[in-house]
Amino acid sequence: MSRFFSKFATRVASLSGKPGTFVLAVAVVLAWAISGPFFGYSETWQLVINTGTTIITFLMVFVLQNSQNRDGKALQAKLDELILTSQAQNKFVGIEKLDEEALRKMSTALAEHAEQIEDVADEKAGAAERPKHAAE
């Protein structure tokens, strides 16, 4: 059942992002709008579009969330593999499971570390430029 839904969700997500699907949706809305005078703009006429769009939106939330969850997990697995096969610190594997506060602390620590590296790089670049100017 899970495999079927995953394949179904992938297919629906793929189709829903195509220009033809958008054009079809616009055509349906236009057909509904044009039919208004024939139905006297009745409450039933309005209910048709409201019910249809509500049902489609409700179902698409689940389909697209499933697709997005799988994409996120696949991306995370790829990043974990890159971390494990590189010289990066293995402590970053699985950080997506940390709570918000722990992620915020780690992000702050990484930003500070990046600033330190940038300062060192700037110092080295400045030191490399000084001898040039001294010779001139």
The CA distance from 57 to 79, in Å, is: 32
Confidence of residue 114 (pLDDT cuts 50, 70, 90): confident
Q: Are residues 6 and 45 in the same domain?
A: yes
Q: Are residues 14 and 60 in the same domain?
A: yes
Domain housing 72: 2-90
Tell me the pTM. 0.62
Q: Are residues 17 and 56 in the same domain?
A: yes
Q: Are residues 83 and 16 in the same domain?
A: yes
What pLDDT score does 135 carry? 53
**Under a CB-based contact definition with an 8 Å cutoff, are residues 63 and 43 in contact?**
no
Out of 2-16, 36-50, 66-80, 81-95, which region has the weakest mean confidence (pLDDT)? 81-95
Q: Which DSSP symbol is given to 41? A: T
Q: Are residues 32 and 80 in the same domain?
A: yes
Q: How many domains does the chain have?
A: 2
The CA distance from 51 to 47, in Å, is: 6
The CA distance from 29 to 21, in Å, is: 12
